[in-house]
Amino acid sequence: MINAVQCGQHQKRTGLSMNHLKKNALAAAFVVGATFSSLTSAAPMSYPGTGGAVPPSGTVGLFASSVSVAETGIINDVSISLNDFSHTWIGDIDATLVFDDGANPSITVALFGDGSLGPSNDAGGTYTFADGGAANFVGAGNPIPSGTYAALNSFSVFDGLSAAGTWTLNLNDRTGGDAGSLGSWTLNIDMGDVAAPVPAPATLALFGLGLVGLGWSRRKKSNS
Ligand SMILES: [Ca+2]
Ligand SMILES: [Ca+2]
């Protein structure tokens, strides 16, 4: 309603064409229609995680931090940001994102680090890992510039799952000497609606099929 009023005022001032009005009418019809069906558009959600020393003490060990996601929307896309992450030897670290829905085996995506001692490059920035990001994070420079990088594994392994569960960032510093810190981290989940989308016309069609089925069964009964 607010949009319709604003549009009307806008029209008075500028004298917009009929074509523009038709477009707005179509948009309004779409909004009305959407109230009768499940949302199909994706909703980007962000969940903040806490930072800390990497590793938690000394120069070897596991930094782990989890966030709980209550939303049960279907995952369209996942990315993760390491905010204000610094370390004096990036190749010390194996980084993973692990999803545990509490029922099925957990799913692990390797962000960077393959278990062997990697390059001595420093981390010093904010790094987002997302499908389509730049390749070779650990070798991207010294210090590694802030930006969006590809993880070692695709995040598409999460697509189609319900987002609800525990998401854990692991930064495993496996090598003595060199340490760092993480300011915070952010889990980003682009998710759709909980229920499978059922547009209003399809619902009506199913209702109609139900009536047809009912009539058929009654005829069958009367024939027996
Ligand atoms: Ca180390
Ligand atoms: Ca270094």
- SS3 for the chain is CHHHHHHHHHHHHHCCCHHHHHHHHHHHHHHHHHCCCCCCCCEEEEEEEEEEEECCCCCCEEEEEEEEECCCCEEEEEEEEEEEEEECCHHHEEEEEEEECCCCCCEEEEEECCCCCCCCCCEEEEEEEEEEEECCHHHCCCCECCEEECCCCCHHHHCCCECCEEEEEEEEECCCCCCEEEEEEEEEEEECCCCCCCCHHHHHHHHHHHHHHHHHHHHHHHHC
What values do phi and psi take at 13, rounded to 5? -75, -35
Domains held by the chain: number? 2
Tens digit of pLDDT for each residue in 1-47? 344 334 333 333 334 444 444 444 444 444 444 333 344 456 899 99
Q: What is the pLDDT of residue 193?
A: 78
The answer to the question of residue 57 being in a domain is: yes
76 and 1 in a common domain: no
Ligand 2 center to 122 CA (angstroms)? 4
Instruction: Taking residues 87-101, report their average pLDDT.
Output: 98
Q: Are residues 21 and 76 in the same domain?
A: no
Determine the distance separating the centroid of ligand 2 and the alpha carbon of 189, expressed in angstroms: 32
Q: Tell me, yes or no, whether 130 and 180 share the same domain.
A: yes
Within a domain: 149:
yes
Cα-to-centroid distance, 61 and ligand 2 (Å): 18
Residues 22 and 127 in one domain: no
pLDDT in the model for residue 194: 64
The stretch 130-155 carries a mean pLDDT of 98
Give the residues across from 68 on adjacent strands. Answer: 166
**pTM for this predicted structure:** 0.70
169 and 140 share one domain: yes
CA–centroid distance, residue 92 to ligand 2 (Å): 10
What spacing in Å lies between the alpha carbon of 146 and ligand 1's midpoint? 21
| 32 and 52 together in one domain | no
| Residues whose Cβ atom is located within 5 A of ion ligand 1 | 59, 92, 173, 175, 178
Give the residue, 124 or 223, on which the prediction is more confident: 124
More confident residue, 25 or 125: 125
CA 87–ligand 2 middle distance (angstroms): 7
